[in-house]
Amino acid sequence: MSQEIGVIGSPSFTTGFRLAGVRKFADVPDDEKDERLDEAVEEMLDDDDVGIVVMHSEDMDALSRGVRQDAETSVEPVLVTLGGGAGSGGLREQIKRAIGIDLMEED
């Protein structure tokens, strides 16, 4: 089972995670997203040591269609997006996809 958390995004986004001890990260400056973001996501999804990938929700919009679909449907590692409010895919759906059940399901 994968144990590491991986973070992808701008240096300002990844810095806090690195300070908290996250060792797997990909810094993709805003001016290089078009060239490097897809590659960074593919590499992180292919890393067998990574169980959770964290990205900013706005960066999901910058991914190509195929890479975005791979990221959204990946079970291991599971992709978690931060920021963007409730309309960004929903943490509830991400948790449901990751563990297979809806913890908030009403009886």
**pLDDT digits 0-9 by tens, 63-97:** 999 999 999 888 899 998 887 654 445 556 666 66
pTM of the model: 0.76
Instruction: Return d(Cα 29, Cα 37) in angstroms, integer.
Output: 9
Instruction: Report pLDDT for 75.
Output: 86
How far is the C-alpha of 15 from the C-alpha of 29, rounded, in Å?
12
Q: Which fold has domain 4-99?
A: Rossmann fold (3.40.50)
What value does the mean pLDDT take over residues 11-21?
90
* pLDDT confidence of residue 8: 96
Compute the residue count for the chain.
Answer: 107
- CB distance 13 to 32 below 8 Å: no
Contact 6, 24 (CB under 8 A): yes
- Tens of pLDDT, residue by residue over 28-76, are 998 998 889 999 999 999 999 999 999 998 898 899 999 999 998 888 9
Cβ–Cβ < 8 Å for 38, 8: no
Q: What is the Cα–Cα distance from 41 to 28, expressed in whole angstroms? A: 10
